[in-house]
C-alpha cells in the first residue's frame, strides 16, 4: 500500500505539487493523468525515492521511499520516459542489472523480448527507439516487483508494439502488484488502467475505479446534443456527452471525455466522487 499525505513539492518558486493526498492499493493498475506541468513525473520520482517531499509524507508498506533502503529498492522498479541507449547487448545488461532485484527472472525477460519481436543479443545503442523502450519494459516486467512505476511507457511505440505492451502488462505482472502508469496516450491503455487518477497542481481531482466512474457518471454516445452535460464532443455520426448518472444506467467509460469533463467541472466532479 502506498500512502500519500499532504504532499508538497516545488522547484524554486514554482509549486508543482501542493497538499496531495491519496492511497494506492495492491492489485491495481493506476492510470495517472493530468495536464502538462501538474507534476506527474515529479510524483513518480517522489514515489521511488529519487526526490524528497518538501512537505507531507509518502510511505510504501510503511517505508519512507527517500530513505532508499535496499529492502524498499528491491521491491520497486521505476521506468522513466527517456531510457538510455547503452553500449552493450540487452541480454548482458539484463543479466547484470537483474542481480539488484531478487525476483528478476531472465527467462521471463527473454520471453517478453520474443513477444516484443526484439532481439536480446542486439546492442542497445543500435536499437530503434521503440526497440529500446520495449527492452526496458521487458526488464521492468521481468523484475517481479510488487511496485512498478512507469512514465509514458507507450511513447515511441508503434501500433503493434502498443498491443504487445498491453498484453504483456496483463500477463507478466503479479496479481498483488501496485502499478502506476503516467500517460497522455489514454487510448493506448484504455482497457488496461483501472483505477483512474487525475492529478491537478493543488489536488487529486479523481481517484476512482472504472466501475465507480460508470456508477456516478453517464457517457452518452447518441446523435442528439442534450443540455446539462458536463462535457460534449462531436464525433463522426454523433456526440459523446458526459452527465452525472442520475438513472443508475451503465455506460462505457471514455477516458478522454472523462478527463475533459473533470477539468471543466473540477469542484462539481470532486463532490460527485466524495466519500465523506
pLDDT, tens digit, 9 for 90 and up, residues 122-147: 999 999 999 999 999 999 999 999 99
The cell numbers describing 18, all together, are 501542493
Buried-exposed string 133-170: b where 16+ CB fall within 10 A, e elsewhere: bbbbbbbbbbbbbbbbbbbbbbebbeeebbebbbebbe
Sign of the CA dihedral with 35 first, then 37, 39, and 42 last? positive
At residue 275, the pLDDT reads: 61
Q: Are both 180 and 233 inside the same structural domain? A: no
Q: How confident is the model at residue 265 (pLDDT cuts 50, 70, 90)?
A: very high
In a domain, 96, yes or no: no
Q: Which of 155, 178, 205 is the last residue of a domain?
A: 205
Compute the distance between CA of residue 179 and CA of residue 28 in angstroms, rounded to an integer.
6
Q: Is the N-terminal amide bond of 195 cis, ω within 30° of 0?
A: yes
At residue 15, the pLDDT reads: 81
Compute the distance between CA of residue 94 and CA of residue 67 in angstroms, rounded to an integer.
26
Q: What is the mean pLDDT of residues 10-16?
A: 86
Q: Are both 243 and 194 inside the same structural domain? A: no
Residue 86: exposure state from Cβ atoms within 10 A (0-12, 13-18, ≥19): middle
At residue 190, the pLDDT reads: 85
Q: Are both 261 and 150 inside the same structural domain? A: no
Q: Are both 198 and 160 inside the same structural domain? A: yes
In a domain, 134, yes or no: no
In a domain, 174, yes or no: yes
Q: How confident is the model at residue 173 (pLDDT cuts 50, 70, 90)?
A: very high
Q: Which of 152, 187, 205 is the last residue of a domain?
A: 205
pLDDT, tens digit, 9 for 90 and up, residues 181-202: 999 888 889 889 999 999 987 7
In a domain, 197, yes or no: yes
> What average pLDDT does the chain have?
94
Q: Are both 159 and 262 inside the same structural domain? A: no
Reference 176, options 29, 62, 78; nearest CA is 29
In a domain, 21, yes or no: yes
Query: pLDDT at residue 69 above 80?
Result: yes
Q: How confident is the model at residue 62 (pLDDT cuts 50, 70, 90)?
A: very high
The structural domain count of the chain equals 2
Q: Are both 218 and 200 inside the same structural domain? A: no
32-36, 93-97, 155-159, 249-253: which is most confident: 93-97
Q: Are both 189 and 224 inside the same structural domain? A: no
Q: Are both 6 and 73 inside the same structural domain? A: yes
Q: How far is CA 252 from the centre of its chain?
A: 20
In a domain, 112, yes or no: no
Q: How confident is the model at residue 120 (pLDDT cuts 50, 70, 90)?
A: very high
Q: Are both 229 and 168 inside the same structural domain? A: no
Q: Which residue has the higher pLDDT, 174 or 64?
A: 64
In a domain, 58, yes or no: yes
Q: Which of 205, 224, 256 is the last residue of a domain?
A: 205
Q: Are both 149 and 52 inside the same structural domain? A: yes
* CATH number of the domain within which 62 lies: 3.40.50.300
In a domain, 116, yes or no: no
What domain range includes position 248?
209-272
Q: Are both 199 and 225 inside the same structural domain? A: no
At residue 201, the pLDDT reads: 76
Q: How many CA atoms lie within 13 A of 20 on its CB side?
A: 35
Q: Are both 165 and 268 inside the same structural domain? A: no
The cell numbers describing 239, all together, are 456526440
Amino acid at each position: 500500500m502506498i500512502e500519500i499525505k499532504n504532499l508538497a513539492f516545488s522547484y524554486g518558486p514554482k509549486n508543482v505539487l501542493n497538499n496531495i493526498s491519496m492511497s494506492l492499493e495492491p492489485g491495481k493498475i493506476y492510470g495517472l493523468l493530468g495536464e502538462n506541468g501538474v507534476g506527474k513525473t515529479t510524483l513518480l520520482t517522489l514515489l521511488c525515492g529519487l526526490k524528497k517531499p518538501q512537505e507531507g509524507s509518502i510511505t510504501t508498506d510503511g517505508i519512507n521511499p527517500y530513505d532508499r533502503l535496499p529492502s524498499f529498492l528491491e521491491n520497486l522498479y521505476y521506468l522513466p520516459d527517456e531510457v538510455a541507449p547503452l553500449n552493450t547487448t540487452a541480454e548482458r545488461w539484463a543479466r547484470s542489472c537483474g542481480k539488484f532485484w531478487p525476483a528478476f527472472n531472465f527467462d521471463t525477460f527473454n520471453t517478453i523480448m520474443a513477444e516484443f519481436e526484439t532481439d536480446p543479443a542486439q546492442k542497445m545503442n543500435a536499437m530503434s527507439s521503440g526497440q529500446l523502450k520495449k527492452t526496458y519494459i521487458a526488464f521492468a516486467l521481468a523484475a517481479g516487483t510488487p511496485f512498478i512505476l512507469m512514465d509514458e511507457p507507450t511513447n515511441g511505440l508503434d501500433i503493434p508494439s502498443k498491443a504487445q505492451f498491453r498484453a504483456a502488462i496483463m500477463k507478466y505482472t503479479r496479481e498483488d502488484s501496485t502499478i502506476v502508469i503516467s500517460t497522455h496516450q489514454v487510448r493506448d491503455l484504455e482497457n488496461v488502467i483501472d483505477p483512474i487518477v487525475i492529478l491537478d497542481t493543488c489536488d487529486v481531482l479523481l481517484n476512482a475505479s472504472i466501475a465507480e466512474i460508470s456508477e456516478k457518471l453517464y457517457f452518452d454516445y447518441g446523435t442528439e446534443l442534450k443540455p446539462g452535460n458536463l462535457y460534449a464532443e462531436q464525433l463522426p455520426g454523433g456526440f459523446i456527452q458526459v452527465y452525472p448518472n442520475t438513472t443508475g444506467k451503465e455506460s462505457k467509460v471514455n477516458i478522454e471525455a472523462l478527463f475533459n469533463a473533470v477539468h471543466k467541472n473540477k469542484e462539481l466532479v470532486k463532490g460527485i466522487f466524495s466519500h465523506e
